[in-house]
């Protein structure tokens, strides 16, 4: 049976710390699901780690739906959350409802995520009243990097911390089933986790959130040029892949691959018949 947003909320009530990861394709989704991870986010981070953009802003709703479909086909048990991209929920609650409905109906997701606090509380309320579970996102909100002045930690001053708490209370009251806290000081994350009734899911937010989420490409080491401060590489797949690709190229160029083992056999009389049928081609 697939995980639900109610199950996720119940984990906090039961004091059960849980894990979340991003995924963008069927193969990764299968691996994450097989590990028993209860929540997969099809994040707009795909704009950077899959499509090669320098931010999440160029990601479209169609792209999210496309990748969500693949993840849903790969994961049978995890709750699949689709990120609502930049400017697909900002104009009105009705626009947000249309975008979220597409993620659910076309993409196959069971929930959506959006960034913001008090400013999107009415939108969260509208979505949840329509039966669409919503994950909120506070702290460093990548869709707002132009306003934030880059990828900077949030909540470090008294004014920022107070505003973040007010936003968290607003999205909790509006009906969000969980909230991602990104690049928030550990003490502030702990304070919020102890006071919110909904699970906090940290990324760069210290060890005391109810859950942790990471970008799967970061923990697998798919990129060798940059490792975010909040991530830990549990493998270096970029090095493994580079070695394998070079070995393949060397084998093809030297004639070591493919061999008879990778070839399809053919009865000798077939070639004989061809020689008879096309004597001018011998």
Contact call for residues 45 and 28 (beta carbons, < 8 A): no
**Half-sphere exposure at residue 80, Cβ-oriented, CA atoms within 13 angstroms:** 33
3-state helix, strand, coil in the chain (%, to 5): 50, 15, 40
Q: Which residue has the tokens 């059960």?
A: 16
Give, in order, the Cα–Cα distances in Å from 177 to each of 57, 95, 138, 196.
25, 21, 14, 11
User: Where in the sequence numbering do the catalytic residues fall?
Assistant: 182
Among residues 178, 184, 238, the alpha carbon closest in space to that of 20 is found at 178
Q: Reduced to 3 states, what is the DSSP secondary structure of residue 267?
A: coil
Q: Which residue has the tokens 């089933």?
A: 177
Contact call for residues 165 and 122 (beta carbons, < 8 A): no
Q: What is the largest CA-CA distance in the chain?
A: 89
Cα 175 from chain centre: 22
Residue 200's H or E segment, with its range, is strand 200-203
Give, in order, the Cα–Cα distances in Å from 259 to each of 27, 60, 249, 264, 265.
28, 44, 14, 10, 11
């Amino acid at each position: 049976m697939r995980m639900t947003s109610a199950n996720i909320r119940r984990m906090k009530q039961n004091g059960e710390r849980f894990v979340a990861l991003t995924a963008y394709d069927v193969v990764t989704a299968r691996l994450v699901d097989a590990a028993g991870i209860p929540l997969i986010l099809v994040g707009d981070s795909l704009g950077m780690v899959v499509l090669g953009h320098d931010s999440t802003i160029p990601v479209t709703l169609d792209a999210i739906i496309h990748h969500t479909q693949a993840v849903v086909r790969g994961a049978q048990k995890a709750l699949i959350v689709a990120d609502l991209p930049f400017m697909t929920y900002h104009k009105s609650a009705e626009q947000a409802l249309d975008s979220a409905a597409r993620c659910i109906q076309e993409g196959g997701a069971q929930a959506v995520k959006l960034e913001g606090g008090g400013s999107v509380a009415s939108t969260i309320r509208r979505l949840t009243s329509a039966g669409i579970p919503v994950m909120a996102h506070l702290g460093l909100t990548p869709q707002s990097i132009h306003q934030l002045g880059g990828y900077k930690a949030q909540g470090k001053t008294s004014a920022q911390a107070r505003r973040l708490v007010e936003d968290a209370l607003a999205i909790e009251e509006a009906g969000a089933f969980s909230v991602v806290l990104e690049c928030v000081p550990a003490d502030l994350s702990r304070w919020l986790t102890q006071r919110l009734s909904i699970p906090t899911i940290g990324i760069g937010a210290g060890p005391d959130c109810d859950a942790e989420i990471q970008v799967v490409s970061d923990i697998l080491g798919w990129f060798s040029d940059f490792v975010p401060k909040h991530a830990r590489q549990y493998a270096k797949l970029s090095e493994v892949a580079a070695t394998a690709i070079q070995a393949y190229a060397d084998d093809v160029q030297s004639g070591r691959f493919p061999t008879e083992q990778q070839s399809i056999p053919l009865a000798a009389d077939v070639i004989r018949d061809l020689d008879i049928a096309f004597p001018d081609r011998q």
